[in-house]
């Protein structure tokens, strides 16, 4: 059974007179979630994309783990002293032999 999310679209009025705007669209898959999680590290996502990611992370343990690993990696890179990279050039040519 496909999963669905609500997005702005068509109009529906309920008996109480409240108007809802919605359109049914399948929730994003794991590949799309990984792409959006990666993009979110570099730029702000739209509200709709943030909601899609949150919905997917709420039902997918694997993607939740991926998101946690990306956040951990980002934090580790922020704490890494960049001056160490400049002070110690490393030649990788001998590692391929």
CA separation, residue 12 to residues 9, 18, 37, 80, 83 (Å): 10, 8, 32, 52, 58
Give the residue ranges of DSSP H helices in 1-97: 30-42, 47-59, 61-79, 83-87
Global pTM? 0.57
Please give the residue that has the higher pLDDT: either 65 or 5.
65
- Tell me how far apart the alpha carbons of residues 53 and 32 are, in angstroms, rounded to a whole number: 9
Question: What pLDDT, in 10s, does the model give residues 20-64?
Answer: 444 545 578 999 999 999 999 899 999 989 999 999 999 899 999
Interatomic CA distance for residues 58 and 88, integer angstroms: 43
The mean pLDDT of the chain is: 76
């Amino acid at each position: 059974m496909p999963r669905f999310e609500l997005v702005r679209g068509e109009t529906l009025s309920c008996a109480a007179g409240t108007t809802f705007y919605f359109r049914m669209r399948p929730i994003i898959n794991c590949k799309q979630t990984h792409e959006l999680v990666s993009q979110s590290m570099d730029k702000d996502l739209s509200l709709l994309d943030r909601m899609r990611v949150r919905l997917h992370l709420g039902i997918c343990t694997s993607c939740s783990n991926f998101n946690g690993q990306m956040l951990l990696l980002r934090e580790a890179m922020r704490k890494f002293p960049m001056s160490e990279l400049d002070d110690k050039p490393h030649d990788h040519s001998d590692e391929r032999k």
